Amino acid sequence: MKQLEALKGLPEASRVWTFEYRAWDDSVLAKLDPQLEELAALAREARALVGRVERSCDDPDRFRRLEKELLSASRLLESRANAFADAGLIPAGAREVARTAGDLAGSMSIFKWNEGKFDGPSSYYTNGKRARLHGGREFSFDALRGALDEALIIGGREVGLWILEDRARAGLRPPLLEAVDRSARRPGVADFAERLKSAEEPDGPLLSRIRAVAG
């Protein structure tokens, strides 16, 4: 009652508090690996599309015949990956797929050939040099594939962070251990799977390692 009386004398703005809590339940754990599989499926589709574009570039005339179709497929994939990022639990991995598809789409209009040999994308806006992908890497089809590999690692790291946060929320217990085991071989998860299941592994250092660029 003394505390109540003290509050009555405070201005309205001073009687507001923010409480942080983990607003999910065990149902999230069951969604993690299926979403990693969905990310992997998007990455496989993007990789196949990169291969189609690469093969078409062997002949500039062939590419020009297919350009509209390939551009449409790239933009559609970019849109789907962004929608997955908006709705899903692993947005950073999905955004990486979206950006890679966007890089592919945005480069097509400035593809160049030199004596019939593909010479990459370049234009006045790139100072005549080969265009770069998001992150600053020079355009190449291998670089696009590398970005898709990284997307899977990023998504796996996001799942690792979910697991770690859930461990802090409710502790080590069968649903959490099962969730780790389901994704234990996935890129980005494999390096941390056993540590995520260890009661002796401190949360803080493990959090920092999962967030780091290199495991």
Average pLDDT by stretches of 10, the chain with 215 residues: 80 79 92 98 98 98 98 98 98 98 97 96 94 96 98 98 94 96 97 93 90 69
Which residue range forms the structural domain that includes residue 38? 31-211
Domain membership of residue 46 (yes or no) is yes
Domain membership of residue 2 (yes or no) is no
The pLDDT of residue 214 is 54
The pLDDT of residue 91 is 98
DSSP-assigned states of every residue in 153-178: HHHHHHHHHHHHHHHHHH-S-HHHHH
Structural domain count of the chain: 1
Domain membership of residue 141 (yes or no) is yes
Q: pTM score, two decimals?
A: 0.89
Please state whether beta strands 117-121 and 111-114 pair in parallel, antiparallel, or not at all (unpaired): antiparallel
Domain membership of residue 157 (yes or no) is yes
The pLDDT of residue 215 is 42
Domain membership of residue 25 (yes or no) is no
Q: Which two tokens stand for residue 18?
A: 């923010």
Domain membership of residue 6 (yes or no) is no
Angle, CA of 10, 3 and 1, to the nearest 5°: 125
Domain membership of residue 79 (yes or no) is yes
The pLDDT of residue 196 is 95
Give the start-end residues of each E strand in the chain.
111-114, 117-121
Contact between 148 and 46 under an 8 Å Cβ cutoff? The reply is: yes
CA distance 78 to 81: 5
Domain membership of residue 7 (yes or no) is no
Q: Is 114 buried (19+), middle (13-18) or exposed (0-12) by CB count in 10 A?
A: exposed
